[in-house]
């Protein structure tokens, strides 16, 4: 509504209704923000746990890889690594949290098919492959969690901005407008009451003359 809205009872009702809607909107925005923040905190904790597990698994994988390189030779291990097929089992879907679309990564795990024979390799190579396979699974999970956290953080920022606009601009504006119209109507009623009293006294004087 225009701040210069003409002070009528109809406009006062409109201003109060708009104020009520603005307060309701702020309440919903604040609730949404709190839910998203809780979700974000949970994702941050998940990301930390997954990253710690990745670090530990990487260390074990590289240690096993170094042993395999020493036992079999770097060139031969590299040749075996190049023969590992590309994983095409990753599918990305989406789910919604309070209107925020976040990725849901699904990985169809296929049986671990060896591309080398046991007779000319070592146990260290098997361990390295197993560890790196686990790193891949963890990395897929981490990418989903981090992407989800980024989207939630972005939505929280937008929601906070809208909530602040309602709290600091829209709601005070409608409160001021409602008060202004109400004061103007009260002043108008006082003036009308005074005018009627003057008219009544004038009539009484004329009738007694």
State how far the Cα of 45 lies from the Cα of 50, in Å rounded to an integer: 9
CB proximity list for 9: less than 8 A, separation 6 or greater: 185
Cα 50 to its chain centre, rounded Å, is 21
Which residues form the domain of 135? 9-208
Bridge partners (DSSP) of residue 64 are none
The overall pTM is greater than 0.75: no
- Domain assignment of residue 2, yes or no: no
- Domain assignment of residue 162, yes or no: yes
Q: Which of the pair, 165 or 81, is modelled with greater confidence?
A: 165
**Backbone dihedral angles phi then psi of residue 94, each to the nearest 5 degrees:** -150, 150
Environment class of 173 (CB within 10 Å of its CB; exposed 0-12, middle 13-18, buried 19+) = middle
Are 168 and 26 contacting, i.e. CB atoms less than 8 angstroms apart? no
- Domain assignment of residue 122, yes or no: yes
- Domain assignment of residue 173, yes or no: yes
**Backbone dihedral angles phi then psi of residue 101, each to the nearest 5 degrees:** -80, 120
CATH code (residue 130): 1.10.287.3240
Q: Which of the pair, 2 or 137, is modelled with greater confidence?
A: 137
At 159, is the pLDDT very low, low, confident or very high (cuts 50, 70, 90)?
A: very high
- Domain assignment of residue 1, yes or no: no
- The residue-averaged pLDDT of 130-156 equals 90
Q: What are 181's two structure tokens?
A: 């119209």
State how far the Cα of 148 lies from the Cα of 82, in Å rounded to an integer: 32
State how far the Cα of 42 lies from the Cα of 13, in Å rounded to an integer: 44
- Domain assignment of residue 194, yes or no: yes
- Domain assignment of residue 66, yes or no: yes
Total count of domains within the chain: 1
- DSSP 3-state of 96: strand
Bridge partners (DSSP) of residue 107 are 90
Is 93's pLDDT higher than 70? yes
CB proximity list for 152: less than 8 A, separation 6 or greater: 36, 39, 40, 43, 97, 100, 102
Q: What is the pLDDT of residues 96-128, one digit of tens each?
A: 777 777 777 776 666 556 665 655 668 888 888
- Domain assignment of residue 49, yes or no: yes
């Amino acid at each position: 509504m225009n701040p210069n809205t003409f002070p009528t009872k109809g406009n006062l009702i409109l201003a109060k209704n708009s104020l009520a809607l603005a307060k309701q909107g702020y309440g919903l925005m604040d609730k949404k923000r709190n839910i998203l923040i809780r979700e974000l905190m949970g994702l941050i904790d998940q990301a930390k746990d997954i990253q710690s597990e990745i670090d530990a698994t990487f260390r074990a994988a590289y240690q096993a890889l170094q042993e395999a390189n020493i036992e079999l030779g770097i060139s031969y291990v590299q040749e075996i690594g190049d023969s590992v097929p590309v994983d095409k089992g990753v599918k990305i879907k989406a789910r919604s949290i309070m209107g925020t679309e976040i990725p849901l990564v699904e990985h169809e795990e296929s049986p671990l098919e060896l591309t080398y024979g046991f007779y000319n390799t070592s146990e260290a190579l098997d361990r390295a492959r197993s560890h790196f396979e686990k790193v891949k699974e963890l990395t897929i999970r981490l990418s989903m969690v981090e992407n989800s956290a980024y989207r939630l953080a972005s939505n929280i920022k937008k929601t906070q901005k809208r909530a602040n606009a309602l709290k600091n601009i829209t709601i005070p504006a409608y409160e001021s407008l409602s008060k202004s119209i109400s004061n103007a109507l009260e002043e108008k009623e006082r003036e009308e009451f005074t005018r009627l009293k003057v008219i009544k006294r004038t009539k009484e004087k004329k009738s007694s003359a």
